[in-house]
Structure 1
């Protein structure tokens, strides 16, 4: 299996090269040269497989040239060590809960797998390895916990100051050791641009082996396919032969790209819905054909506050950069702050199910688009405890319960570094580590 850039140069690399480079030489993203079909026998038995069996089968074609089966199985067991239940909310609406990992966010899956893959494939021993990542909320905590105390690797996480929840911030800043969380005085897009500048700085990379744990990294993207297979398997245990509609809360569009990759591997899915907040570059593109990134707007679903989604080129590539192909299989819904609050309140009151702001967009996107004769699920990307400040606006009693249960009202712990939107400041930091 080779991995190619999707830019103009069509660079071809191995898995380890792609993981540690992050971006290709032309600044574009890597994708598998071929996406294998798992075969009819696999799909005929899908509903009978365990989560780990599915993970092993899905990931093996992508890693087998650099990782033996015993090592892969061990990585799978360490990554998928928590449940991923499919829960029926009502009628034909289901939710795949991805928040049962250590940082209560879907990104635990990608970060845990990536950290284990990197520790086994680490190609550089003569200079320090720095994992550099930007976060709009949940990536930072997942990466920090996934790489905490991993020997030989320093982690630098950039996040927009004042634009993530205190609980999210605490998950990054309280660890210490090899974890450096830095509040940038700007937006997530500013953080992301700084990261890309570092990757493209050849002078820096002579001295520092910089790689990423963002969703631009292949090692994050590949394991995210697994839970879509598992969700479809669970649907088919209940309703054999069903091809579900899948809705994904989307900001940087990595998670839904993984879902479409699973579909390209043969996973039976009827169609996809991307639920966005008012950072709506992709819904506008689907409507007009013009890709027009804009400044980030801060919303209650802060992990989706992305004005220029870095993974969208991958998604578009999967549809051969053809807008009509994309439209046939893919739609997108815009959810406002007001609708997020109303959905959290109404779903809890009517169905006794508590949504976080991001999952609320997934629920609303699915219920708006699904037809009576269809079955669907949306992915719940974070536990509501991470957003008690938002829950409190409409369900103060539930917010108080969450605070007490999880200690979510505790003060910020650990030191927080601050940085202007300055590449020189970031470069100096990376050299100093």
Structure 2
């Protein structure tokens, strides 16, 4: 697979280069030069296949020129070794539970796949790499567990101090070994800016083999296509049209779904559900992209004021906003609306949704109220994290949930983190030493 930069379509690099460089020198994002079409016969038989089997079909379609079928199958089988079940909220509305992996968030798919792909390439390179990752909540935990004790890789995770939940912080700071956590005095945008600047610093790159595990890295997006396809396989015999509703912060999750769509996955529409950081909803309404500092919300993993992966989405539609709007809608909800949605779902179904998933529920509710609904359409809300990651929210609402076993184990561990301001010079000095 060859990849270009969203800022230079004439650029051409191979997969290994894109994975380890993360960002092109021109500060664009890597995208595949060609998005091969998924074989329709394969898709017709997906209802008879498991999630890992469907995942392999997609991965092989994209990566068959880069990784052997045997090695790719091993990577997929290790990365996608947990389920992504559908919970029916209504006859036509489903919650896609993506929190059954080790870190209890959808990003386990990306983190585990990326770590195994990098390990595959490192076997022949025999070099060590330094991964830098910024997290607003869930990315860091998935990356930490995905890369823990992987030979040849050291991981440094930046997170905004005081702006992640206790569970999320424990997942970042209790690993040790090759995982280091830095609490930045600032927002997620500050963390992301430090990481991006590091990739373009000549001194750092001369000394360290830097790469990223954020969704700016193309190898994070590839495995996130798997569960879109698996959901299609489960629903294709009962519904003609699928509408995916994706809680969106940095827009990597929904970008992955749209790449799958461009490769031939039958999707009627994508809905991006956001919190008060409503940059993309405002852009689709006004045509003006107005990045701004993020604000803190209950749905903290979506507290992003300049979503990086939206560039990829625009690129797929040749920066034509009208064409994009045919496939993508976006909406935003504040904290009070999110809390009301959590209570509403719990009262109606005795089912607990996290604050991010609640934005998806509200989007479906609004969509049904404002458009004609047919029996042929299924609405799929992507549940991006387990409710246990937001204990303060549910304590306030008086809602109880079943806590997974791994959470109880986290409370027994000691936290180890470095605290730092948002100065790049300080961050650079820390990495250089």
> Would you say same fold, with TM above 0.5?
yes
Structure 1 spans left out of the alignment, 5+ residues: none
1:205 deviates by 0.7
The CA distance in 1 between the partners of 2:126 and 2:101, in whole Å, is 34
The CA distance in 2 between the partners of 1:381 and 1:265, in whole Å, is 23
What residue is the counterpart of 2:313 in the other structure?
315
Asked if structure 2 preserves the Cα contact closer than 8 Å seen for 1:167 and 1:408, the reply is no
Q: TM-score, normalization: structure 1?
A: 0.95
Label 1:244 to 1:178 Cα distance change in 2 as closer, same or farther (>3 A).
same
The correspondence of residues 366-381 of structure 1 with structure 2, limited to 5 A, is 366-370=364-368, 371-373=372-374, 374-381=377-384
Q: TM-score, normalization: structure 2?
A: 0.95
1:407 deviates by 2.8
Any idea what SS the aligned residue of 1:375 has?
strand
1:34 deviates by 0.8
Q: 2:300 aligns with which of 276, 280, 302?
A: 302
1:125 deviates by 5.8
1:392 deviates by 1.4
Any idea what SS the aligned residue of 2:259 has?
helix
Label 1:198 to 1:181 Cα distance change in 2 as closer, same or farther (>3 A).
same
Label 1:403 to 1:62 Cα distance change in 2 as closer, same or farther (>3 A).
closer
Label 1:411 to 1:281 Cα distance change in 2 as closer, same or farther (>3 A).
farther
The CA distance in 2 between the partners of 1:430 and 1:97, in whole Å, is 37
Cα RMSD between the aligned structures?
A: 1.8
The CA distance in 2 between the partners of 1:323 and 1:391, in whole Å, is 38
Label 1:306 to 1:418 Cα distance change in 2 as closer, same or farther (>3 A).
same
Asked if structure 2 preserves the Cα contact closer than 8 Å seen for 1:133 and 1:158, the reply is yes
The CA distance in 1 between the partners of 2:240 and 2:6, in whole Å, is 33
Asked if structure 1 preserves the Cα contact closer than 8 Å seen for 2:131 and 2:212, the reply is yes
What residue is the counterpart of 1:36 in the other structure?
36
The correspondence of residues 355-370 of structure 1 with structure 2, limited to 5 A, is 355-370=353-368
Label 1:191 to 1:123 Cα distance change in 2 as closer, same or farther (>3 A).
farther
What residue is the counterpart of 1:233 in the other structure?
233
Label 1:406 to 1:158 Cα distance change in 2 as closer, same or farther (>3 A).
closer
- After superposition, the C-alpha distances for 1:131-187 in whole angstroms (9 at most, x for unaligned) are 100000000000001010111111000000000001000011001001001000000
The CA distance in 2 between the partners of 1:123 and 1:31, in whole Å, is 25
1:128 deviates by 3.8
Label 1:126 to 1:99 Cα distance change in 2 as closer, same or farther (>3 A).
closer
The CA distance in 1 between the partners of 2:114 and 2:55, in whole Å, is 14
Any idea what SS the aligned residue of 2:159 has?
strand
- After superposition, the C-alpha distances for 1:34-65 in whole angstroms (9 at most, x for unaligned) are 11111221222222221111111101132222
- After superposition, the C-alpha distances for 1:203-236 in whole angstroms (9 at most, x for unaligned) are 2111100000000001101110110000111112
What residue is the counterpart of 1:331 in the other structure?
329
The CA distance in 1 between the partners of 2:339 and 2:73, in whole Å, is 41
What residue is the counterpart of 1:114 in the other structure?
114
What residue is the counterpart of 1:91 in the other structure?
91
- Counting matched residue pairs gives 428
Asked if structure 1 preserves the Cα contact closer than 8 Å seen for 2:75 and 2:117, the reply is yes
The CA distance in 2 between the partners of 1:145 and 1:217, in whole Å, is 17
What residue is the counterpart of 2:59 in the other structure?
59
What residue is the counterpart of 2:7 in the other structure?
7
1:363 deviates by 1.2
What residue is the counterpart of 1:268 in the other structure?
266
Asked if structure 1 preserves the Cα contact closer than 8 Å seen for 2:127 and 2:152, the reply is no
Any idea what SS the aligned residue of 2:241 has?
coil
The correspondence of residues 100-139 of structure 1 with structure 2, limited to 5 A, is 100-122=100-122, 128-139=128-139
1:337 deviates by 0.3
The correspondence of residues 238-249 of structure 1 with structure 2, limited to 5 A, is 239=238, 242-249=240-247
Q: 1:389 aligns with which of 383, 388, 392?
A: 392
1:431 deviates by 2.1
- After superposition, the C-alpha distances for 1:265-288 in whole angstroms (9 at most, x for unaligned) are 111111110000010110000000
